[in-house]
């Protein structure tokens, strides 16, 4: 979807008149007022947390042992048979302020507008001006005399200016704009962008507006001195001011030039002001926890020492186990200080502050009969820390578990799912066999006659979910150790396109996807009918699937701010025209994907507080359907399971009625319209497990999610290793249980840097495989180089100009499912694109094809796919080897070539 602005927390704002209450040189903001609130810890990519134990009775205090302190003194000198350091990544919400100040300069005719922010970040002011003769909401670029140094024009309507570190101690970043009132500019409009997170901060959901004349209409986004000089209130009052001023101006045109100057001055009533608006930002912090185990030289008991630099009160929720089944037990006393019993199921110990106040620690004395120490960390009622979705398990027998030699185990919890890639000491075979054994034990347990009689349906479902999780983890290890693979045995001599899909949501493997619209397609009002005329041409080029724009009634004309989900009369055409288009596409052999926005929905009505969170239409939800942790929309649902999209109410998918309504709506779209599958918008906003539920219910032929995330950069340069980025996308696919693919944003980003900078070596990862999602899970990777957001008239992340065909030569010869953008298909690239599609189809290249990278050097990348297709991109030289195959050139263009095996 489009890049949409997000507004800050606007519960309180403070306006102060200048200059009495706020001298110009006073300190505006105090960093000490920043409020850091712990929100969550990203130990799991899907944000999973430990079971939410909520005691209904007072916990029972337990007596602590006084001998622990003495034992701790000799701990470091004894033999340690287990020691592990875990890296803990947590996120804190930082609260700060945007401030806006208008001051009169030394020259009475000149003013200075200062805009700043006191939260660290890479802040950009995106701004423009409103002209007096323009009564609409369009922006214009300011005159060059107003533009601060470093400003960059954005198309023809705005500029972007970076905020600089302020010389004033209490302000972090600011920018100053010189304002010379001349009777032409009515106001200054702006939004603040944080380039580190991509977030846009607005004023009450709209652009900030600083008026420079007294008759601008206030849409709720105006800041500064408020005046009411009109004869009538409201819109008519604003209109009256305009009429009176124009009449006054006309009557004085016959007078002297001095009278004309007086008329201009009458239009301008500037008054200095200072105003603050609160904002929030998520900032990541890294902490660690070290666990050591030794044998007590005096008692032969196990001594477990735990220390961490996590701030605040850290509670260890713990128990012991006797075998590999890892069933929790409460051990015998003695216990550490500040230990309580929780529901006779576990113990809770408050770790004690370390000397110097840097973190906390605890010492646990455990009998030899126990095989393992189980625990999770509790920071507050909503924040629990786990390991790979499971309890931490520390071995007490010197073998098993997660142990390593002292000082060797530096595990990053966020990357631990791929531990076989980063820690060679762990045997992938042994680890995988352990997971398989766990799956077998669970299957045996749930299938036994005794289990069927004694276990409730809920318990059996819980075991089945555990089996799914273990299977996904085992598959992740296999995928990371053998990134490019064939998921089924395919005879090279007789490769036939399957007549049925391999599994729900992933198609046959031979799909080629056409994005059937761009950002401006809604403007004609008859896009469905226009596209219908091109159906035969699209099919003849070799496309098998087409992605249509969002069909629902929407606040935004492009369709990404849906309102009434069952109203399919949109700016692209009517519901009948949509049905006609889908029918025509089916007749020419093309499957159709609907663009569905499930993360957010625009309300129809306001609640008693004036907040838009009551929905209309057939799905007339109330504020229970809105997540509770988006402060803009006062939802009464649960906390969001993903990232909030602040421009509209975020839907709470944990609500049963919401999920049932969405599943019914998707089923209706399949039956009523004839969609064959889905393009899922902004799936970062909610847990992938809900996607699995929707896919299982609607049974799409093909589905792809838009999981858009920022790549890794160091000092402005893209890192070579983008494993963390593609891991996050793969984690989402895993959470959805593989029922949908995802756009391979990693591959697009790496292609950008490789082609722009002539650094084709980037197209091979550290294991010699494609560096994007296509190198790890090709059957779920939908590769692309451009779409309606990145290209078209938006151009948020446009592919390097003139190098588009190199990008298409890459994705159309490689595994994954290639997606091509409408603007490129119907352009001067059309014949080259058609030729590349023909090569792919003739050689039966599919989403699981194997890749052998031959060259990945500074100026050339070359690969052989399925031993049938050879390709190269870049200005450097490459010719495929002459033996054993003989190669014939199939197509070549600017800096690319493709060959076929004879």
Catalytic residues: 681, 706
Chain centroid offset of residue 478 CA: 26
Distance CA 763, CA 775 (A): 10
Q: Report DSSP state, residue 405.
A: S
Distance CA 148, CA 581 (A): 50
Chain centroid offset of residue 601 CA: 18
Q: What does each C-alpha distance from 505 to 45, 734, 736, 892 come to in angstroms?
A: 22, 13, 11, 34
Spell out the alpha helix ranges (H) of 736-784. Answer: 745-756
**The two structure tokens encoding residue 305:** 């020492």
Q: How many CB atoms lie within 10 A of CB 61?
A: 10
Distance CA 38, CA 312 (A): 10
The string of DSSP codes covering 13-29 is: -EEEETTTSS-TTS---
Distance CA 753, CA 759 (A): 7
* Segment holding 885, helix H or strand E: none
**The two structure tokens encoding residue 16:** 């102060």
How do strand 185-194 and strand 199-201 relate by DSSP bridges?
antiparallel
Spell out the alpha helix ranges (H) of 384-456. Answer: 419-422, 428-447, 449-454
End-to-end CA distance of the chain: 43
Q: Report DSSP state, residue 619.
A: S
- Which class for 595: exposed (0-12), middle (13-18), buried (19 or more C-beta within 10 A)? buried
Which residues does 262 contact at the CB level (< 8 Å), separation at least 6?
A: 252
Chain centroid offset of residue 563 CA: 23
Q: What is the 3-state secondary structure (H, E, C) of 59-124?
A: CEEECECCCHHHHHHCCCCCCEEEEEEEEEEEEEEEEEEEEEEEEECCCCCCEEEEEEECCCCCEE
Is residue 592 classed as helix, strand or coil in its secondary structure?
strand
Distance CA 898, CA 892 (A): 6
CB 230 within 8 A of CB 215: yes
The string of DSSP codes covering 517-581 is: --TTGGGGS-HHHHHHTTHHHHHHTT--EEEPPP-S-BSSTTS-SB--TT---BTTB-HHHHHHH
Is residue 434 classed as helix, strand or coil in its secondary structure?
helix
CB 142 within 8 A of CB 189: no
882 Ramachandran zone, left/alpha/beta (phi>0; psi -120 to 50): alpha
For tokens 């890049």, the residue is 3
CB 628 within 8 A of CB 639: yes
Distance CA 544, CA 888 (A): 27
Report the b/e string of 632-650 with b at 16+ CB within 10 A: bbbbebebbbbbbbbbbbb
CB 773 within 8 A of CB 730: yes
User: What is the chain's percent helix, strand, coil content, to nearest 5?
Assistant: 25, 30, 45
Distance CA 499, CA 494 (A): 15
**The two structure tokens encoding residue 346:** 């576990």
Instruction: Give me the count of residues in the chain.
Output: 902
Q: Count how many Cα atoms sit within 13 Å of the Cα of residue 269 in the half-sphere of its side chain.
A: 13
CB 632 within 8 A of CB 640: no
């Amino acid at each position: 979807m489009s890049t949409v602005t997000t507004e800050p927390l606007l519960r309180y704002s403070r306006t102060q008149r200048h200059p009495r209450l706020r001298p110009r040189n006073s300190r505006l903001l105090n960093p000490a007022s920043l409020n850091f609130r712990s929100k969550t810890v990203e130990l799991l990519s899907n944000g999973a947390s430990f079971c939410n134990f909520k005691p209904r009775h007072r916990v029972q205090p337990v007596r602590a042992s006084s001998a622990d302190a003495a034992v701790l003194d000799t701990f470091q000198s004894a033999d340690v048979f287990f020691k592990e350091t875990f890296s803990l990544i947590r996120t804190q919400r930082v609260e700060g302020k945007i401030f806006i100040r208008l001051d009169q300069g030394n020259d009475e005719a000149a003013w200075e507008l200062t805009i700043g922010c006191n939260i660290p970040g890479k802040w950009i002011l995106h701004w423009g001006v409103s002209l007096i003769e323009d009564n609409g909401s369009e922006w214009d670029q300011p005159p060059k005399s107003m533009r601060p140094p470093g400003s960059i024009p954005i198309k023809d309507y705005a500029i972007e200016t970076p905020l600089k570190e302020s010389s004033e101690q209490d302000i972090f970043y600011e920018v100053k704009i010189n304002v010379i009132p001349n009777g032409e500019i009515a106001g200054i409009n702006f939004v603040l962008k944080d380039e580190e997170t991509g977030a846009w901060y607005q004023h009450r959901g709209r652009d900030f507006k600083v008026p420079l004349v007294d008759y601008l209409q206030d849409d709720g986004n105006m800041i500064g001195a408020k005046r009411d000089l009109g004869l009538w209130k409201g819109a008519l009052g604003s209109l009256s001011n305009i009429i009176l001023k124009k009449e006054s101006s006309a009557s004085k045109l016959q007078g002297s030039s001095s009278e004309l100057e007086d008329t201009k001055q009458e239009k301008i009533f500037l008054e200095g002001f200072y105003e603050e608006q609160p904002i929030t930002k998520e900032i990541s912090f890294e902490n660690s926890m070290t666990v050591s185990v030794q044998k007590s030289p005096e008692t032969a008991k196990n001594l477990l020492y735990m220390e961490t630099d996590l701030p605040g009160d850290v509670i260890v929720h713990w128990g012991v186990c006797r075998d590999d089944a890892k069933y929790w037990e409460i051990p015998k006393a003695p216990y550490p200080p500040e230990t309580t019993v929780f529901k006779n199921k576990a113990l809770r110990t408050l770790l004690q502050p370390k000397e110097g106040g840097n973190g906390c620690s605890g010492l646990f004395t455990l009998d030899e009969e126990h095989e393992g120490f189980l625990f999770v960390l509790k920071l507050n009622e909503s924040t629990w820390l786990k390991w790979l979705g499971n309890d931490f398990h520390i071995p007490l027998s010197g073998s098993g578990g997660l142990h390593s030699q002292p000082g060797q185990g530096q595990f990053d919890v966020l990357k631990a799912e791929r531990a076989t890639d980063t820690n060679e000491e762990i045997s992938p075979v042994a680890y995988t066999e352990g997971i398989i054994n766990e799956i077998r034990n669970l299957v045996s347990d749930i299938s036994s006659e005794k289990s069927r009689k004694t276990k409730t349906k809920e318990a059996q479902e819980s075991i089945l979910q555990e089996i799914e999780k273990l299977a996904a983890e085992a598959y992740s290890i296999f995928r990371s150790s053998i990134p490019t693979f064939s998921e089924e045995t395919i005879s090279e001599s007789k490769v036939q396109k399957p007549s049925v899909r391999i599994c729900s949501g992933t198609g046959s493997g031979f799909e080629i996807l056409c994005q059937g619209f761009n950002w401006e397609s809604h403007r004609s009002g008859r896009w469905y009918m226009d596209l219908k005329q091109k159906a035969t041409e699209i099919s003849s080029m070799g496309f098998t699937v087409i992605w249509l724009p969002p069909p629902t009634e929407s606040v935004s004309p492009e369709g990404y701010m849906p309102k009434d989900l069952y109203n399919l009369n949109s700016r692209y055409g009517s519901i009948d025209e949509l049905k006609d288009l889908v029918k025509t596409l089916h007749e020419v052999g093309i499957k159709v994907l609907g663009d569905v926005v499930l993360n957010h929905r625009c309300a129809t009505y306001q609640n008693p507080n004036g907040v838009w969170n009551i929905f209309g239409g057939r799905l007339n939800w109330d504020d229970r359907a809105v997540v509770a942790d988006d402060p803009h929309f006062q939802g009464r649902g649960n906390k969001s399971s993903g990232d909030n999209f602040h421009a509209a109410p975020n839907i709470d998918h944990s609500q049963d009625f919401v999920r049932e309504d969405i599943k019914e709506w998707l089923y209706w779209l399949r039956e009523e319209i004839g969609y064959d599958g889905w393009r899922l918008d902004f799936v970062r906003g909610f847990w992938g497990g809900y996607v699995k539920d929707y896919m299982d219910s609607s049974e799409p032929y093909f589905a792809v999610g838009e999981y858009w995330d920022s790549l890794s950069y160091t000092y402005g340069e893209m890192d070579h290793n983008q494993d963390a980025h593609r891991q996050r996308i793969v984690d989402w696919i895993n959470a959805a249980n593989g029922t949908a693919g995802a756009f391979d944003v990693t591959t697009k980003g790496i292609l950008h840097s490789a082609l722009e900078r002539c650094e084709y070596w980037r197209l091979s990862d550290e294991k010699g495989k494609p560096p994007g999602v296509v190198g790890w899970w090709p059957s779920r990777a939908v590769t692309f180089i451009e779409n309606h957001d990145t290209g078209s008239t938006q151009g948020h992340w446009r592919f390097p100009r003139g190098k588009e065909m190199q990008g298409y030569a890459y994705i159309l010869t490689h595994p994954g499912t290639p997606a091509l953008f409408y603007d490129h298909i119907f352009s001067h690239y059309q014949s080259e694109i058609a030729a590349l599609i023909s090569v792919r189809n003739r050689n039966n290249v599919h989403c699981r094809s194997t890749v052998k990278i031959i060259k990945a050097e500074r100026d050339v990348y070359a690969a052989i796919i399925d031993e049938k297709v050879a390709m190269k991109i870049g200005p450097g030289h490459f010719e495929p080897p002459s033996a054993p195959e003989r190669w014939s050139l199939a197509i070549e263009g600017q800096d690319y070539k493709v060959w076929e095996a004879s």
